[in-house]
Structure 1
Amino acid sequence: MPWFKVDDGLAFHPKFLAIGLAPAGLWVRSAAWVAHHLTDGFVPAGIPAALGATTSEIDALVAARLWEVTNGGWRFHDWHDFQPSREDAEEQRRKRAEAGRKGGQVSGKVRRGRAAAKHTPSNEEASASPGGSNDEAESNPVPVPVPVPVPSAAAAAEAAHARGEQPPPPLEQPELPMDVEILRTALDAARLVVRWDKLTADQVATISALVAKHGDKRLVKAAVQAWRPDAPAAYAQAWLGVWQALPDPGKTLAVVKGPRCTEYGHEREDASTCRLCAADRKAVQ
């Protein structure tokens, strides 16, 4: 997980004192999003709204020259003067992964050496073993049971380190189009965190078209309404049917009206019942 740097004097910096607490909070939360997604200081147009920001808060950051207006959104002023670039962050990840792999190899060798020393019989134990001499004990060693760890991501990585192999890479979210990325961020903010790595190219294109048609807020609202606590969605494609079933913007479901009475023109509940006719018949009786 990448981090971004904040000067310890930020709280009383003249620019932040001038803009107020809400725009400052928007600046910090947006910086965290930028660092997480490695966008080199770029804030897409839909992110402030997903964070609940107002237009006045955005304008305050631009007026204070903390943000700069750019094509498709905003950019942090002098981001690379204080924060690592995407290339530097990815290189740092690679170096840490390599260091972890080498460290795992060394620790694996140490653990195996300790295990071997722990289970090596002493001279007295070997001579006292029933059924033969030391030579017989060495030629027919008693096998030592080795516990099998429960399979997990951490255990798999540790086992790979011990064997001197490259551990399996951690699951990373795929690169998505910017409009779909904004939708994913909004869903995460609504605590609807799912996997997006199983989407096909056609499904990504369909979701992108749905964002353009309905907007990310409407899709998030539909996903929230479709959420089931007993069977929560695990993959993004679980919402495709819900999103595709949404009526077109500006349209509502048509109301089906029942047949009308031929005498009074009153709308009947079914083909044979009219309240006014029934009242008249009862009055005559």
Structure 2
Amino acid sequence: MPWFVVDDNADTHPKMIAATNAGLGLWLKAGAYAARHLTDGIVPGAVAKMYGSRPQIAKLIAAGLWHEHGHTCSHPKCAQPQPGDYAIHDYLIYNPSRRDVLAKRERAAEKKRRQRGQDPQPNRDGFNGDSSANSTPEYGNAAGHGDPSPGDSAGTRAGAVPSPPLPSQQGGAEGESATGRGRGRAPLSLIPADWQPSDTDIEAAQLARADAGREQLTAQQLATVTRRFRQRMLDDQVRAAGWGGRWQQWAENERTGPAAAPGGNVVHLSGAMTKSQQQRAGLDALRGMTGGHSA
């Protein structure tokens, strides 16, 4: 599969700094998804919401790293996404297109057939099934999101790209088996009934809430979020190799205060404690409830 290329100076680019670390993580994960599924830089809305939060999406759009439907970037290589989807700015400048990748695969397959004396019978996706073709990047030219391009100017462009595969509950694309994702990866399994977030998970979620301007979760709220998260994962029969990242997303987006749904399990925060005190109290209380923590 092709690689999602990132310039070695990307960490100092103003757009990347404006996106913050959380937004940059979403940008990188979505870029890998686009490269894997050959979407030409289109990120389905469902994938964006699975990988990140609404504030992170908003930061990428504000920084000019992502485009929404109806964007005015005039660069000819910035696709116009469908409503609800997003386009990675300048993706096709630094990454190969779907057409180029499939053509390169077919050339490699044809070369193999000639070497083996076989009649050319390409399969429908143009890939010959030789695992050696995937051991190195299909495109080795160094690239990344460098200086602002002409696409940052005003203008319009119409057009759409085919919808890419959507993620299944198992965490991969539809039709992708859990056993075919590569060797050396942790096996997928249901969430344990007694699973608990680690201290690192809790700290990451609380920091993300602070970054998004949300109040810190109390110990009781953390316990409630964890219980509801485990139950949802079990009800939906979700299988995964790890649960910390998913739980962090739940905790980050947990609603608190008067805006929470009436009659729900969320408890209002007390204003008597500072954010750091609430975070520490949550960590201490969760340790006392579980006798430790689970990874």
- TM-score w.r.t. the length of structure 1 is 0.42
For CA contacts below 8 A with separation 6 or more, give which structure has more relative contact order: 2
Asked which structure has the greater CA Rg, the reply is: 1
- TM-score w.r.t. the length of structure 2 is 0.41
The structure with the largest helix share of the pair is: 1
